[in-house]
Amino acid sequence: MKIHGKHYRTIWTRPDETVEVIDQMKLPHVFETAVLKNAEDCAVAIKTMLVRGAPLIGATAAYGVAFAMKKDPSSKALVEAIDMLGATRPTAVNLRWALRRMNSVLKGIGHEDRFAAAWAEAAKICDEDVGTCRMIGVNAMPIFREIAKKNGGKLNVLTHCNAGWLACVDWGTALAPMYMAHDEGIDIHVWVDETRPRNQGASLSAYELGAHGVKHTIIADNAGGHYMQHGMVDLVIVGTDRVTRNGDVANKIGTYLKALAAHDNGVPFYVALPSSTLDMSMAKGSDIPIEERSTDELLKMTGRLPGGGLATVEIAAPGSPGANPAFDVTPARLVTSFITERGVCAATEEGLKGLFPQLA
């Protein structure tokens, strides 16, 4: 997507066989990029959330494996790199999906060819992600059009966290249809949940939507239910970090409360799901490992000072402990439909198997 008039992906290669990414720790205040030169750089970027979002951490991990193969193409180094990169974040299954894919391509390849093959496979993962996200947008559009038509061409959408192009390689999952609806002339407005504690909604989704000219309003995480009760939300659409075989959905903490509020108010609740996020090997949502992050994310806040610099301040009662689960699980029964690159399906095992029989 475009930032400052220039088309960007979130991750791209450089002629010197390094990788450049957008530094998402500095957004929305400063647009800066960072260069990743080895597997350790990729692991740190994922862990610190310089890059984040399920598809993007998978893509970054794939390049991490490629860097490891450049340094040492042995099978021992391959296993070690996969272990190191896999330990960075536990919930988004895209990370494991990308590492498994790299492993299965590389194990059948001679050591001398491993780096070239890994570099090419990582690029393929990135290119495929762009196509997948675009198709999620295309497949969501009939739903967006139909609801907008009933509303005289207007559409109020609510989203949580950031499942936009910054979370992927381009387009995004949940935000792809918002861009397409806007470009098609639908009068779309997006309620953007701030998404405490890291504020990916207020800082990243709002930044993306604003750059594309999509009307949006940042709201406190607690406000969505109120707007739903007042008929001001036509649909909710979110991304996901892992969907289990029975259709349960892990996504950013707070998603479950939005799904409950949507259910109570008869507002459709859609989940944008690339197949790389589908974990058919896991039976149900309660089996998903939920990442616990530093309580600094909750007890402190970073923002821009009036003069321009960034500052981090404490916002909680000194000495009070905190707890910071980064994701929650929305039960399948609260999900209206999954919107995938292959089409729309029910949030059930049968629905998922119908679209993705090869993963069953």
Contact 325, 257 (CB under 8 A): no
Q: Is 83 a catalytic residue?
A: no
Contacts of 120 (CB under 8 A, 6+ apart): none
Nearest to 343, CA basis, from 355, 357, 358: 355
Structure tokens at 230: 């007042």
Q: What are the CA-CA distances from residue 14 to residues 57, 82, 107, 265, 272 (Å)?
A: 19, 23, 26, 49, 31
Q: How far is the CB of 269 from ligand MRU (least distance, A)?
A: 14
Total residues found in the chain within this entry: 360
**Cβ closest to ligand MRU, residue 53 vs residue 73:** 53
Distance of CA 169 to the CA centre of its chain: 10
Residue number of the CB closest to ligand MRU reads 239
Q: How far is the CB of 168 from ligand MRU (least distance, A)?
A: 5
Around 139, how many Cα atoms within 13 Å sit in the side-chain half-sphere? Answer: 23
Residues of this chain that interact with ligand MRU (CB under 6 A) are 52-55, 92, 161, 163, 167-168, 173, 200, 239-241, 251-252, 326
Q: How far is the CB of 257 from ligand MRU (least distance, A)?
A: 14
How many angstroms separate the first and last alpha carbons of the chain?
Answer: 34
**Cβ closest to ligand MRU, residue 156 vs residue 159:** 159
Phi, psi of 266 (to 5 degrees): 65, 30
**Cβ closest to ligand MRU, residue 231 vs residue 322:** 322
Q: Which residues are annotated as a binding site for substrate?
A: 52-54, 89, 200, 251-252
Nearest to 325, CA basis, from 351, 289, 353: 289
Residue type, 192: V
Q: Which residues are annotated as a binding site?
A: 52-54, 89, 200, 251-252
Task: For residues 37 and 248, give the distance between their C-alpha atoms in angstroms, rounded to a whole number.
Answer: 37
Q: How far is the CB of 192 from ligand MRU (least distance, A)?
A: 12
Q: How far is the CB of 63 from ligand MRU (least distance, A)?
A: 17
Task: For residues 93 and 98, give the distance between their C-alpha atoms in angstroms, rounded to a whole number.
Answer: 9
Nearest to 292, CA basis, from 77, 90, 3, 43: 90
Q: How far is the CB of 219 from ligand MRU (least distance, A)?
A: 17
**Cβ closest to ligand MRU, residue 87 vs residue 305:** 87
Annotated catalytic residue within 170, 241, 248, 328? 241
**Cβ closest to ligand MRU, residue 121 vs residue 241:** 241
**Cβ closest to ligand MRU, residue 251 vs residue 337:** 251
SS3 category, 239: coil
**Cβ closest to ligand MRU, residue 115 vs residue 195:** 195
Contacts of 252 (CB under 8 A, 6+ apart): 160, 161, 195, 200, 238, 241, 326, 327, 328
Nearest to 345, CA basis, from 168, 172, 357, 147: 357
Q: How far is the CB of 1 from ligand MRU (least distance, A)?
A: 14
DSSP 175: T
Q: What angle do CA 320, 199, 333 make, to 5 degrees?
A: 95
Which active-site residues does the annotation give? 241
